[in-house]
Chain A
Amino acid sequence: MTGKFVVGFDGSETAQRALDFATERAIAQGGTIVVAYVLEWSPYSFLTPQEVAERSQRRKDELARAETAIIEPAQRAAEAKGVRVETVLRYGHIAEIICEIAEAPDVAQIFIGRNGRSSLGSRVFGSVAGHLVQASPVPCTIVP
């Protein structure tokens, strides 16, 4: 199965494991890696006037930091192993955005790390992995 392998990536240890796992598969099958970093954001959250005033600048800083500290090092490390890498940096609900990226016709699979936490929040609101398993348009691999 060739095509694009979308990896949900946030720079954490578990995300790195998922990226390594997906990279091995991509090399073996001649696929392309899509490193997708989604910054959690809801347009319906509540902000203070101060936060509203500073939001535009903070967004610029967040994007710059994500690009230089998380996305680029991951891209370089994966490419060094000999695989083609594309990157996506978006704001929104993590699982929804990853599903949206996976809607593209050439996406074959999603890889995501499992953080292993069974926190109350995850039980009440669901985890990203749980959401993806339910809603992913392509096969989804959860890497422990």
Chain B
Amino acid sequence: MTTYFKRAALAAFVVTTSAVTAGAQEAEPTLDQAVNDAFASATGWFVNFIFSPFPGTSFPWIVAWLVIAATIFTIYFGLIQFRAFPHSIALVKGDYSDPNDAGEVSHFQALATALSGTVGLGNIAGVAVAVGIGGPGATFWMILAGLMGMASKFTECTLGVKYRNEFPDGHVSGGPMYYLDKGFAERGLPGGKVLAVLFAIFCILGSLGGGNMFQSNQAHQQIAGIVGEYPGWITGVIFAGVVFAVIIGGLKSIAQVTEKVVPFMGILYVLAALVIILMNADKIGWAFGQIFAGAFTGLGVAGGLVGALIQGFKRAAFSNEAGVGSAAIAHSAVKTKEPITEGFVSLLEPFIDTVVICTMTALVIIISGQLVSDPETGLYILTEGGSIQTLDGSSGVSLTSAAFSSAFSWFPYVLAVAVILFAFSTMISWSYYGLKAWTFLFGEGKTTEIVFKVIFCIFVVIGAAANLGPVIDFSDAAIFAMAVVNIAGLYFLMPIVKRELDSYMSRLKSGEIRKFK
């Protein structure tokens, strides 16, 4: 069975990659257009399947899948994201860290590393896409999805640590492919291995899509917005060169510098958003009014309430990756005697990523008046494509850029640096996630690793050269496909997490688990 999947996976990659590159070589008007057309035709069937609606409705089944899962985990673990929030903060501060474990990866470091993979263009461009199509109301559903997603993240990251693999040379690999395999075996359930292989395949696709192409695509759009239009493949080749230098050339210093600069860039971004919001303090009440009214009426957006809800949930899931399983790969390397503590720490991720950063972006776009509405009806005016008309016709990262530059004319330059850094750090994180999935399927080894890394670099160029539409569709589809498999497994494994939780909580209450600070 595993061999069959390995062959199928490899065949899929070869077909996809060759279809794209072959298309790129045809004599089309431009190289970008050729890449885009080839990409859209090669991936269309996959995107259509993932986003197919329930029969007779326009509601994608995948959105319901994520929301229902987050709701079930929230109820099953008794609102753990709210109950354990203070304890999560204490863990990140190091209050419960044994001084004898100094030098190991701390809870803070695991959280920061996982966040560097999720905080990125989903928070800047993704939010603009959500608000641009679903209106301000999408923000409400995005926040709700973020809050609920905390429980999903808690579940998967606990399992990630519990079932990780420690290899003889000391390095650690973990994530859904390991807990699906081992967890199912432990519970005597069949199908764990199949789910693990499926997850690994989708994880590789997700790493090439959302973790790679979407990033280079939006980075190009932001740079082109500043220096003027030029072919996307140029940005792609430069990005691919730097990524190649880091992941193949072993130039770790670039990644280390990025890893240290990105958190400060994130703080700068949030501070700038806060300043803009405070500069328009008189509009804050109105903006929240728009968010609530839009959430329950749609305020004229395509699809009304459901349209706003779908956009909000979609973009939140894409941004914070709760239920997707990627964060479990990053968290699984933490050395702790209590896997559940990593679950507690990880539930802060959707809160920081979605509830804080995404909401900031949305508020700036709304408050700065980028979305055009009819003064008489109060409803938003739609373009022919179905998205909301914006002041200068921008969308995606350009819309966020326009919103910020309405307060600070120089901000697009700062945003361009932030976008490039976020894109790069997300790419490095996802190249690692993809590699872990790849080695799970094809085994550990220098040659197999190089093959994946080269494919990864090729997709950097494709992402920058393709249009936003097909890229964003494929990115979403791949990431959500990971969630399909991961969440299916989580339903069967959540009793294990429940046992861990109950045991830990009773020992915390009795004082057996104590603070060191």
Q: Does A125 contact B (CB under 8 A)?
A: no
Return chain B residues, CB-CB under 8 Å to A53: 171-173, 333, 432
Q: How far is the CB of B426 from the nearest CB of chain A, in Å?
A: 11
Q: Which residues of B contact A (CB under 8 A)?
A: 94, 97, 99, 102-106, 108-110, 112-113, 116-117, 169-173, 252, 255-256, 259-260, 262-263, 329-330, 333-335, 428-429, 432-433
Question: A47 an interface residue at 8 Å Cβ cutoff?
Answer: yes
In the bound complex, CA of A79 to CA of B169 (Å): 36
Q: How far is it, in angstroms, between the C-alpha of A92 and the C-alpha of B433 when the chains are bound?
A: 30
Task: Tell me which of B97, B173, B259, B335 contacts A43 (CB under 8 A).
Answer: B97
The majority secondary structure among interface residues of chain B is: helix
Interface string of A19-63 (1 = CB under 8 A from B): 000000000000000000001010111111111111111011011
Nearest CB in chain B to that of A57: its residue: B170
Contact B109 A57 (CB under 8 A): no
Taking CB atoms, residues of chain B closer than 8 Å to A54 are: 170-171
Compute how far the CA of A48 lies from the CA of B104 in the bound complex, rounded to whole angstroms.
Answer: 14
Q: Given A43-B97, A56-B105, A62-B103, are A49 and B171 neighbors across the interface (CB < 8 Å)?
A: no
Give residues in A with beta carbon < 8 Å to B: 39, 41, 43-57, 59-60, 62-63, 90-92
Cα distance, A48 to B109, chains bound together (Å):
9
Bound: A59/B109 CA distance, A: 15
| Contact status A48-B108, CB under 8 Å | no
Contact status A46-B106, CB under 8 Å: no
A80 to chain B, nearest CB (A): 30
Further pairs besides A46-B259, A49-B117: 4, Cβ < 8 Å: A46-B112, A48-B113, A62-B103, A90-B102
A48 and B172 CA atoms in complex are apart in Å by 14
Q: Which residues of A contact B106 (CB under 8 A)?
A: 43-44
What residues of chain B lie closer than 8 Å to A41, measured between beta carbons? 102-103
Q: Which residues of B contact A62 (CB under 8 A)?
A: 103
Which 4 A-B pairs rank lowest in CB-CB distance, beginning with the nearest?
Answer: A57-B170, A43-B106, A91-B103, A91-B102
- Judging by beta carbons under 8 Å apart, are B113 and A46 in contact? yes
Are A52 and B102 in contact, with the CB atoms below 8 A?
Answer: no
Contact status of A47 and B103, CB under 8 A, knowing A52-B109, A52-B330, A53-B333: no
Judge whether A48 and B256 touch: CB under 8 Å.
yes
CA distance A135 to B335 in the complex (A): 32
> Which chain B residue shows the least CB distance to A45?
B109
- CB-nearest residue of chain B to A54: B171
- The answer to whether B263 touches A46, judged by C-beta atoms less than 8 angstroms apart, is yes
- Selected from B104, B169, B428, the residue in CB contact (under 8 A) with A55 is B104
Q: Which residues of B sit under 8 angstroms from A92, Cβ to Cβ?
A: 99, 102
A60 touches B170 (CB 8 A): yes
Q: A55 vs B166: C-alpha distance in the bound complex, in angstroms?
A: 12
**Interface centre among A55, A62, A63, by most B CB within 10 Å?**
A55
Shortest C-beta distance, A112 to chain B (Å), equals: 20
- Residue of B at shortest CB range from A60? B170
A-B pair count, CB < 8 Å, reads 85
Q: Which residues of A contact B255 (CB under 8 A)?
A: 48, 50
Are A56 and B335 in contact (CB-based, < 8 A)?
A: yes
A129 to B102: give the CA distance in the assembly, Å.
22
- Which of A46, A51, A59 lies in contact with B103, CB distance below 8 A? A59
A residues less than 8 Å from B432 (CB atoms): 48-50, 53
- State A124–B217 Cα separation when bound (angstroms): 40
B433 contact set on A, CB distance < 8 A: 49
Q: How far is the CA of A7 from the CA of B58 in the complex (A)?
A: 72
- Assuming the A-B contacts A52-B330, A57-B170, are A46 and B102 also in contact, with contact meaning beta carbons closer than 8 angstroms in the complex? no
Complex: A41 Cα to B100 Cα, angstroms: 13
CB distance from A41 to the nearest CB of B (A): 5
Give the docked Cα–Cα distance between A92 and B97 (Å): 13
Q: Is the CB of B109 within 8 A of A47?
A: yes
25 of the cross-chain contacts (CB-CB < 8 Å) are A39-B103, A41-B102, A41-B103, A43-B109, A44-B109, A46-B112, A46-B116, A46-B259, A47-B259, A48-B256, A49-B113, A49-B329, A49-B428, A50-B432, A52-B109, A52-B110, A53-B172, A53-B333, A53-B432, A54-B171, A55-B333, A56-B172, A56-B335, A57-B169, A59-B103
For the complex, give the distance between the alpha carbons of A49 and B111 in Å: 11
Tell me the complex Cα distance, A50–B117, Å: 12
Best-buried of B113, B169, B329 by chain A (most CB within 10 Å): B113
B residues less than 8 Å from A55 (CB atoms) = 104-105, 333, 335
**A48-B261 Cα distance, complex, nearest whole Å:** 12
Write the nearest CB–CB distance from B209 to chain A, whole angstroms: 18
Q: Chain B nearest CB: distance from A121 CB in Å?
A: 15
Closest residue of chain B to A55 (Cβ to Cβ) is B105
A119 to B106, CA, bound (A): 30
- Please, which residue of chain B has its CB at the minimum distance from the CB of A100? B99
A63: nearest chain-B partner, CB-CB: B103
A52's closest neighbor in chain B, by CB?
A: B333
Please report the C-alpha to C-alpha distance between residue A55 and residue B110 in the assembled complex, in whole angstroms: 11
A44 touches B108 (CB 8 A): yes
Q: In whole angstroms, how far apart are the Cα atoms of A47 and B252 in the complex?
A: 11
Contacts of B104 in A (CB 8 A): 55-56, 59
